Amino acid sequence: MTDHKVPPTKKHRSGPAGHSVDTAAQKMLNIAAEEGFEVAYDRYAGMQPQCAFGQLGICCTNCAMGPCRIDPFGDGAQTGICGATADMIVARNLAKRSAVGSAAHSDHGRDIVHVLLAVSRDAAQGYSIKGEAKLRKLAKEWAIPVEGRTINEIAGEVAEAALGEFGRQEGRLRFVSRAPEKVRKRWERMGVVPRGVDREIVGTMHSTHMGVSNEAMHLMMCCVRVALADGWGGSMIATELSDILFGEPKPVVSSANLGVLRESHVNVLVHGHEPALADALVAASQLPDVQAACEEVGAEGLQLAGICCTANEILMRCGIPIAGNFLHQELSVLTGAVDMMVVDIQCVMPALASLASRFHTKLVSTSPKARFEGFEHIEFEEARALDSARDILMAGIRNFARRDPAKVYIPSEKSPLIAGFTTEGVFDHLGGRYRPSYRPLNNAMIDGRLRGVVGVVGCNTVRMAQDEGHLGLVHELLRHDVLIVQTGCSAIACGKAGLLTPEAVDLYAGRGLKEVCDAVGIPPALHMGSCVDNSRILTACIEICREGGLGDDFADLPVAGAAPEWMSEKAIAIGFYVVASGVYTVIGDPLPVLGSKAVTEYLTEGMEKDFGGKFAFEKDPVKAARLIIDHLDRKRAALKLAPMIYEPRPAETQGKVWEEMRQAVAVGAK
Amino acid sequence: MKAKGRSIYVELERCMACRGCEIACALEHSESKDLFAAVREEPQPVSRVSLECVDGTAIPLQCRHCEDAPCVTVCPTQALHRIGEGQPVLIDDERCIGCKMCIMVCPFGVITLREGGKVALKCDLCLHRIEADEMPACVAACPTGALQFPTIEEITRLKREAAARSMKEAATASKEQR
């Protein structure tokens, strides 16, 4: 009876309005629907229903006797073939994912170290050390002599020391010393002080092998330790050394959304996460022969823009505009105006190949670590970085001739934004140039002007309308006088929505937050960089503790974290290092752990006793905001801080744009 | 869509043994109908379909809703009943005394006892879904289309077509041999 083919039932969600709160995305999705272009949302619909065992974390494929699945309703098998229970399987799977996330950030960090090392040996073309002050500061922190040495000598030794952090086998990572004493003591007590970056990743991967660690709580400690090696290791190294190499970000004005593409220009998009190539592309784009080549093919010039965190890196340092976040990658190709997309690593959808084949867009992979079927591979060589970047740009410029003007549609959406805030830079803003200090920030919290500071970070996911989680949460927190710090695709979401501007203060912020932002001249949501730059949020918390008056432990501070639309394994590692550093963190979709009562209870309750922070899973942005506000208020009460000076701003005064977005989401949800 | 004249149809070659039908059934009959909430429900939701395994072949099994159902015949309290001709066999929990006679006579072993053992439990063909023009939960959840809910006419037509095709192929093959 194989002839009797009935296709699986497809539950199609509502139209494009339900897929994104971004009107540019809605326009592109309408085009996709009309013209029959398949995008992630269509594949998501075709994937329904998704496997419950996977969602609950109770499927184990670790050995070839399996796969084993635990019956979540208690009727069928309650252990795998080896005898592993739901608790063990869930914990093992989670530890693996935490290790993969940590590996992704850390391997990115390692590449930055290699570039710095090459620069110090004059073996990398086109780069220089742009963050000398930061280099000297880090050398001092790591007790590397600076007197009477050239900048390259210092850089070389710092880079070698940083490389050593990856292979370190004993002791602890250097940046662990940055953590407040109470935080460090907790890690020591729990036995999770990260030794070396690679050491923790290998150790955790080993523990998850068939028949190694089979105690859920031990595996939870693996999740934590390997994640701490990311946040206080790989990611922090990536941030610090990127600042040394490419310069410390300074507040910079730019713009975000698909409207940054220009019909008259050759449009080259960068997509992925590493700054090295993108930085060289920015330099190469300013070469006279590149400009001449553009004119030769009939374009007015070259427009460089980006998707995801590669974009964030060059936005912060060079003001290069943002084309969009994760779920904009396919939509950008649909504009028909992208002549080339240059990708490096992470979060790149292989689906781009088939979509781009219906347009003229040339897809180029550049990292030795990541190849994609249907992409052209032009490997980026740091030794000839500038030439390499020029070659890539020229290929894009040549492709301009293949653009079909009839297929071009660029939505007009483009929001201004300010990016480039750092832990160190915030000093200048908060205290002014003559009195740089965290004092005004701490005082604002102590006096009851600011309720607290919340990091809203993370990805996009097709499991909810694009940006709905980020914007819903941020709007709600702003009206409750919460200062927002951001990275990654969440920062881009808020950038597209106009929240990264001082003007957003009048539209959305509570009165206390407005007073702080107006006095300092900052947006109510601060763009602090890419997803490895979540380490900046850790270092900012260190400064808040150091300034005093709010406790000497992250767990005491009126702060919280959130990743409303998380989807990647990197987000799991980030979640763990933030929580294990003492920060309450609310994420949208639950971690894949609900198949184990013990693990779920540990993450959402028990962790607080051991680490000062815990997870909460809440997809509804308004409810998530409530959880966070209640948490901040509890911390404020424990610190005996003054009551909040002002009532929260009424939701209905947050302006027409947000109201329209909310309605679009409501329509989409039906 | 009407339940009458349709039947759950299993295309065994397509079954991947994912147990999606079991989960979907339990979920459909849970309090919350939400996976993440249902795993914490008390009493725990129970599936009415079960994946049997015979020599490595997975076979999803649920009530066949027999037209001349022995369970209906044997039930002393008329708890097992039909709401009309060709309609699914349903169970009235209020009337069921848990005598287990239905379990004894069911040729497929697809009637079980609820936790606590007082009331029998069986597939209701997701009648409420069918009335809302939706496929039964197990069918809707099947990722490969191994579980289907066609009309009897569709089943027999496709079977006849397949039989005719194989007869034609046999005839052609024997002609070529000659």
pLDDT of residue A12: 39
Q: Could you tell me if residue A293 is inside a domain?
A: yes
Question: Where among A185, A220, A246 does a domain terminate?
Answer: A246
The whole-angstrom distance between B10's CA and the closest CA on chain A is: 10
- Give me chain B's average pLDDT, please: 92
| Stretch A109-114: mean pLDDT | 97
Asked whether residue A1 is assigned to any structural domain, the reply reads no
Q: Quick check: B118 pLDDT over 50?
A: yes
In a domain, A138, yes or no: yes
pLDDT for the residue numbered B143: 84
Q: Name the residue among A5, A49, A72 with its Cβ closest to that of B145.
A: A5
CA distance B24 to chain A (A): 9
Q: Do residues A207 and A265 both lie within one domain?
A: no
C-alpha pair distances (Å), A198 with each of A1, A220, A226, A294: 53, 18, 9, 44
Pairing between strand A266-272 and A340-343?
parallel
Predicted local confidence at residue B56, as pLDDT: 77
Cβ <8 Å between A51 and B135: no
Query: Is the separation of the CB atoms in A543 and A512 below 8 Å?
Result: no
Check residue A670 and give its pLDDT. Answer: 38
Q: Answer yes or no: do B47 and A73 touch at CB < 8 A.
A: yes
Angstrom distance (rounded) from CA B55 to CA A230 = 47
When CB atoms are compared, the residue of A3, A51, A75 closest to B161 is A3
Same domain, A95 and A167: yes
Q: Return the residue of B nearest to A71 by Cα.
A: B23
Average pLDDT of chain A is 93
Residue A67: is the preceding peptide bond cis (ω within 30°)? yes
Residue A75 lies in a domain: no
Chain B: residue whose CA lies nearest to A3: B162
Tell whether the torsion through CA atoms of A117, A570, A452 and A20 is positive or negative.
positive
- Is the separation of the CB atoms in A329 and A349 below 8 Å? yes
Question: Is the four-CA dihedral A184, A189, A190, A192 of positive or negative sign?
Answer: positive
The pLDDT score that the predictor gives to residue A9 is: 34
Go through chain A and tell me how many residues it has: 670
Name the band, by pLDDT with cuts 50, 70 and 90, for residue A394. Answer: very high
Other C-beta atoms closer than 10 Å to the C-beta of A521 total: 12
Comparing CA positions, the residue from A357, A319, A321 lying closest to residue A336 is A357
Q: Which of A53, A55, A74 sits opposite B44 (nearest CB)?
A: A74
* Nearest-by-Cβ selection for A52 from B23, B44, B150: B23
Chosen from A2, A5, A6, A604 to mutate, greatest number of chain B CBs within 10 A: A6
Q: Is residue A59 part of a domain?
A: no
Nearest to B39 among A8, A72, A76 (CB): A72
Name the packing angle between helices A468-479 and A621-638 (round to 10°).
40
Q: Is the pLDDT of residue A503 over 80?
A: yes
CATH at residue A329: 3.40.50.2030
Of A420, A434, A490, nearest to A461 by C-alpha is A490
8 Å CB contact of A8 and B19: no
The verdict on a CB contact (< 8 Å) between A76 and B22 is yes
For residue A184, the domain's CATH number is 1.20.1270.30
Question: What is the least distance, in Å, from the CA of B157 to any CA of chain A?
Answer: 10
| Same structural domain, A270 and A179 | no
Question: What part of A 69-88 touches B (C-beta under 8 Å)?
Answer: 69, 71-76
Residue A640 lies in a domain: yes
Distance CA A349, CA A364 (A): 13
CB within 8 Å: A73 and B20: no
- A74 CA: distance to closest CA in chain B (Å): 7
Give the domain extent around A447: 425-564+619-669
Residue B140: list chain A partners with CB under 8 A. Answer: 9, 11, 49
Q: What is the pLDDT of residues A139-196, one digit of tens each?
A: 999 999 999 999 999 999 999 999 999 999 999 999 999 999 999 999 999 999 999 9
Considering its fold, how many domains does chain A have in total? 3
Sorting pLDDT into bands at 50, 70 and 90, what band is A4?
very low
- Residues of chain B contacting residue A45, judged by C-beta atoms under 8 Å apart: none
Asked if A470 and A546 sit in the same domain, the reply is yes
Closest CA to A543 of A528, A532, A530: A528
Residues A232 and A265 in one domain: no
Q: Which residues pair with A450 in a beta bridge?
A: none
pTM (two decimals):
0.90
Answer yes or no: do A295 and A437 share one domain: no
The reply to whether A325 falls in a domain is: yes
What ipTM was estimated for this complex? 0.74
What does the block give as tokens for A463? Answer: 């499991």
Give the mean pLDDT of A240-245: 98
- Closest CA of chain B from A347, distance in Å: 26
Q: CB-CB: which of A1, A55, A597 is closest to B11?
A: A1
Can you give the pLDDT at residue A48? 81
Identity of the amino acid at B139: V
Q: Which residues of B touch A2 (CB under 8 A)?
A: 11, 13
Considering the domain architecture, whether residues A224 and A281 belong to the same structural domain is answered as no
Q: Are residues A266 and A352 in the same domain?
A: yes
**Residue of A3, A4, A601 for testing the chain B interface, max B β-carbons within 10 Å:** A4
Q: Do B142 and A8 touch (CB under 8 A)?
A: yes
Tell me how many residue pairs between chain A and chain B have CB atoms under 8 A apart: 81
Residue A426 has pLDDT above 90, yes or no: no
Q: Which residues of A166-187 are buried (b: 16+ CB within 10 A; e: fewer)?
A: bebeeebbbbbebbbebbbebb
The arithmetic mean of pLDDT across residues A288-305, rounded, is 96
- Tokens encoding A80: 């795998």
Q: Which of A423, A415, A569 is nearest to A493 (CA)?
A: A415
Chain B residue numbers touching A8 (CB-CB < 8 A): 142-145
Please state the length of chain B. 178
Does A319 map to a domain? yes
Task: Please say which residue of A212, A246, A280 terminates a domain.
Answer: A246
pLDDT in tens, A593-651: 999 999 999 999 999 999 999 999 999 999 999 999 999 999 999 999 999 999 999 98
A34 touching chain B per CB within 8 A: no
**Is A546 in the same domain as A653?**
yes
Q: pLDDT band at B144, cuts 50/70/90? A: confident
What pLDDT, on a 0 to 100 scale, did the predictor assign at position A52?
A: 87
Please tell me whether residues A650 and A504 are part of one structural domain: yes
Q: Verify whether the Cβ–Cβ distance A73 to B44 is below 8 Å.
A: yes
- The single-letter DSSP state of residue A339 is -
Distance from CA of A86 to the nearest CA of B (A): 12
Domain match, A341 and A460 both: no
3-state secondary structure of A275: helix
Q: Is A595 on the interface with B (CB under 8 A)?
A: yes
List, in sequence order, every residue forming a beta bridge with A483; answer none if it has no partner. Answer: A453
Predicted confidence (pLDDT) per residue in A336-389, tens digit:
999 999 999 999 999 999 999 999 999 999 999 999 999 999 999 999 999 999
Among chain A residues, CA nearest to B23: A52
Contact A75 B165 (CB under 8 A): no
The residue from A183, A218, A246 where one domain ends is A246
CA distance to A2, A470, B159, B161, B162, per residue, from B168 (Å): 17, 62, 14, 10, 10
Q: % helix / strand / coil in chain B, to the nearest 5?
A: 35, 15, 50
**Domain identity same for A354 and A470:** no
